[in-house]
């Protein structure tokens, strides 16, 4: 699979097969992703790879925090405090399309809550990657880490694996840091679910639309 094919094929998968991902494949993904660019070659990212009982234990801690309505305290604001109308439209469209795909009505609060709760076990993926950086980083390094994360997902796609980048897994960073033994100086950026797609799951037919190039591009000749 070439780069163009990986870019189109990559999607956020929310149902995975109960099939392990080998250590060798994970290392191969990271071996290639490490070539992502970063300002002055700082390579600000750190990766924690969880599977098996370790993953299950942390998943339960995060799920319990969510179900007990523990206050979320992410290390940074993922979304703006005020959305533009265009952003609002896309965000609402994204959510409505997801729940329509899996047959959950907008008024079904319990159904929506149950679906959201699946975030905290990485939608059943056998592997979770947690992406960290030092808390000293500024906005430029966030861009660097974003390119690293995209590189992970594209490489995984090229190897027949599926991913889902998850801000939800970074909502309780203190729980994650304590479980993994990371210091308070480690900033938790996100998690990534990694595994093999369950192609029979209706939720994986959900795809978000993309704007046409002409809508976000100006050429200055």
Query: Secondary structure of 143-176 in the HEC alphabet?
Result: HHHHHHHHHHHHHHHHCCCEEEEECHHHCCHHHH
Confidence of residue 106 (pLDDT cuts 50, 70, 90): confident
All domains of the chain in start order, with CATH:
3-78+121-206 (3.40.109.10)
The single residue listed with the structure tokens 């599977």 is 51
The single residue listed with the structure tokens 């993904």 is 29
* pTM (global) more than 0.75: yes
Which region, left, alpha or beta, applies to residue 95 given φ > 0 means left and ψ of -120 to 50 means alpha? Answer: alpha
Confidence of residue 177 (pLDDT cuts 50, 70, 90): very high
pLDDT tens column, 127-160 = 999 999 999 999 999 999 999 999 999 999 999 9
CA distances from 152 to 105, 173, 197 (A): 34, 21, 16
């Amino acid at each position: 699979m070439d780069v163009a094919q990986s870019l189109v094929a990559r999607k956020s998968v929310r149902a995975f097969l109960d099939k392990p991902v080998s250590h060798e494949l994970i290392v191969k993904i990271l071996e290639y992703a490490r070539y992502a660019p970063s300002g002055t070659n700082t390579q600000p990212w750190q990766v924690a790879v969880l599977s098996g009982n370790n993953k299950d234990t942390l998943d339960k801690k995060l799920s319990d925090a969510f179900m007990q309505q523990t206050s979320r305290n992410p290390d940074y604001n993922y979304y703006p405090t005020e959305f533009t109308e265009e952003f609002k439209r896309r965000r609402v469209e994204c959510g409505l399309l997801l729940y329509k795909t899996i047959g959950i009505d907008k008024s079904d609060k319990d159904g929506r809550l149950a679906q959201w709760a699946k975030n905290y076990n990485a939608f059943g993926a056998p592997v979770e990657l947690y992406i960290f950086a030092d808390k000293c980083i500024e906005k430029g390094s966030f861009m660097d880490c974003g390119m690293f994360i995209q590189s992970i997902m594209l490489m995984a796609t090229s190897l027949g694996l599926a991913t889902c980048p998850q801000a939800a897994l970074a909502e309780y960073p203190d729980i994650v840091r304590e479980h993994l033994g990371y210091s308070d100086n480690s900033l938790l950026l996100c998690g990534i679910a990694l595994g093999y797609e369950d192609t029979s799951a209706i939720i994986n037919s959900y795809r978000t639309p993309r704007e046409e190039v002409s809508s976000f591009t100006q050429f200055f000749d």
